[in-house]
Each structure stands twice: as C-alpha cells, then as structure tokens.
Amino acid sequence: MRSIFIYTFLFLFSLTAIAQKAERKHIREGNNLFEEEKFTEAEIEYRKALEVDRQSPEGIFNLGNSLFKQEKPKEAIEQYQQITGTGKDSVRLSSAWHNTGNAYMQAQDFGKAIEAYKQALIHNYKDDQTRYNLAVAQAMLKKQQQQQ
C-alpha cells in the first residue's frame, strides 16, 4: 500500500516537472523571437506557455510586452493587470506597473499612465526611468488639457 502511494506521488511529481519544462521551452522560444523583433511569433509562444501554466508570471508579463510591441495597448494592459492584481514580488510589480503606464501612454490615456507610474514607484522608488516617464505623462496630460 505504501509503495502505491510513493509511485503515485512520483508519477504526479514527474507530470508537474514535464509541464514546467514545456512552459519554459515556450517562454525561451518566445524570448528568442522577441529579441529578433518577431513579436507576433513571440506572442504565439507565450500563449503556448500559458496553455501549460495559466498563472506563469513570466509568460503573462512577456505576452504583455509582445502585445505592446505590436501596438496593442489594451491587450497588453490586460496582461500586466493580471500581474499587478496578484503579484507579491516588488520587482515584478514595479515592472508590470511601469509597462502598464507605457501602454496607457501608447493609448494616449495620460491620466491612467500617471497612476500606473505612481504605482510602479511605490514598488521601486529608485527607478529613474519610471520617474522620467511620470514627468512626461504629466506634461502630456497638461498639454492635452490646455488644447481642450
């Protein structure tokens, strides 16, 4: 009886390891395609990784990045918000909020970009790039309001 339990445990453990390996393979391939600026193909690989593990923070984040590069800010924001809503890692949260701000900038929603950059700075107050982007977003919002 005890050996059945051990074999069952080992079998389930090996299935998990195989799934993680498949997820990593798709993420690595997506990363290679992303570096080659093949963003549509990278998106496909990241989606394949998420079919294996829907909660993969790296898969979600990288999918958001590939969508952003394809100028699909709304879809990118959806991916980043999955991380900002559930994440606990300050570095990843800061990056997700920063990229959310970038996507809102791309969509010319400067008010939401400002809020996203502020959230990024809460998680990493030393990030000069986010601080710069926040200043740009504030200037763009002011300019937009003056033109109305």
Predicted confidence at residue 10, as pLDDT, reads 45
Task: Point out the least confidently predicted range of 5-9, 83-87, 105-109, 141-145.
Answer: 5-9
Name the residue with higher pLDDT: 13 or 46: 46
Distance CA 79, CA 62 (A): 9
Name the residue with higher pLDDT: 7 or 79: 79
**Residue 140 confidence class, pLDDT cut points 50, 70, 90:** very high
Predicted confidence at residue 20, as pLDDT, reads 60
pLDDT surpasses 80 at 97: yes
Predicted confidence at residue 87, as pLDDT, reads 66
Task: Point out the least confidently predicted range of 1-5, 12-16, 91-95, 136-140.
Answer: 12-16
Distance CA 134, CA 143 (A): 14
The residues spanned by each domain of the chain are: 1-70, 80-148
For domain 80-148, the CATH superfamily is: Tetratricopeptide repeat domain (1.25.40.10)
Same fold, 1-70 and 80-148: yes
What are the CA-CA distances from residue 11 to residues 20, 23, 68 (Å)?
A: 14, 19, 39
Give the CATH number of domain 1-70; options: 3.40.50.620, 1.10.10.10, 3.80.10.10, 1.25.40.10. 1.25.40.10
